Amino acid sequence: MPPKKAREQASRQVNSAKQVLAPEVIAKRTRRHLDELERSNYAEPSISLLGEEEDDGAGGKYAKGRARQTISDKRHFGDPSAKKKKTSMNVRTAILYRKNLATLIEESGIAHLPPNVPTYLTAAAPPPVIPPRLLCSVCGYKGSYRCKKCSMPYCDLNCENVHNETRCERRVI
Partner 1 sequence: MRSSTIVVLDNGASTIKAGIINNERDEDIQDKVRIIPNAVVRSKGDKSTYIGHEMERCRDYSALHYRLPFEKGYLIDWDAQKAVWDGLFSSEVLGISAAESSLLITEPYFNLPNIQEVYDQFVFEEYEFQSYYRCTPASVIPFGQLFSPGAAPPAECTLVVDSGFSFTHVVPIIDRQIQWYAVKRLDVGGKLLTNQLKEVASYRQWNMMDETYIMNHAKESCCYVSTNFLEDLEICRSNPKRNNITQEYVLPNFSISRNGRIRQPEDELTPTDQVLVMENERFSIPELLFRPDDIGLEQSGLSATIAASIMLLPSDLQGMFWANIGLIGGNTKFKGFRQRLFSELRSLAPSEFEVNILECDSPLTEAFHSGCAFVKDTNFSDLVVTRAEYQESGANASRRKFRDWQISEDNSKESEKGKAKQGLDDDDMGQLSRKPSRTKVRTGNTSTRRR
Contact partner, 147, from Zn ion, partner 1, none, Cβ < 5-8 Å per class:
Zn ion
Distance between CA atoms of 155 and 134, rounded to whole angstroms? 9
Q: Classify burial at 101, counting beta carbons within 10 Å of its beta carbon; exposed 0-12, middle 13-18, buried 19 or more.
A: exposed
Interaction pattern, residues 15-34, with partner 1; x per rule: CB under 8 A = ---------------x--xx
For partner 1, the binding residues in 120-149 under the rule CB under 8 A are: 120, 123-130, 132-133, 135, 138-142
Shortest distance (Å) from residue 146 CB to partner 1 = 13
Largest CA distance in the chain: 79
In the complex with Zn ion, the residue whose CB is nearer, 5 or 75, is 5
Query: CA dihedral in degrees (151, 154, 155, 158; nearest 10)?
Result: -120
In the complex with partner 1, the residue whose CB is nearer, 9 or 60, is 60
Tell me if 95 sits within 8 A of 70, measured CB to CB: yes
Number of residues engaging partner 1 in binding (CB under 8 A): 68
Q: Answer left, alpha or beta for residue 157, where phi above 0 means left and psi between -120 and 50 means alpha.
A: alpha
77 binds partner 1 (CB under 8 A): yes
Amino acid found at 130: I
> In angstroms, how far is CA 54 from the centroid of its own chain?
20
Please report, as ranges, the residues that interact with partner 1 according to CB under 8 A.
Answer: 30, 33-34, 36-43, 45, 49-50, 57-60, 70-72, 75-79, 87-88, 90-91, 94-96, 98-101, 104-105, 107-110, 116-120, 123-130, 132-133, 135, 138-142, 166-167, 172-173
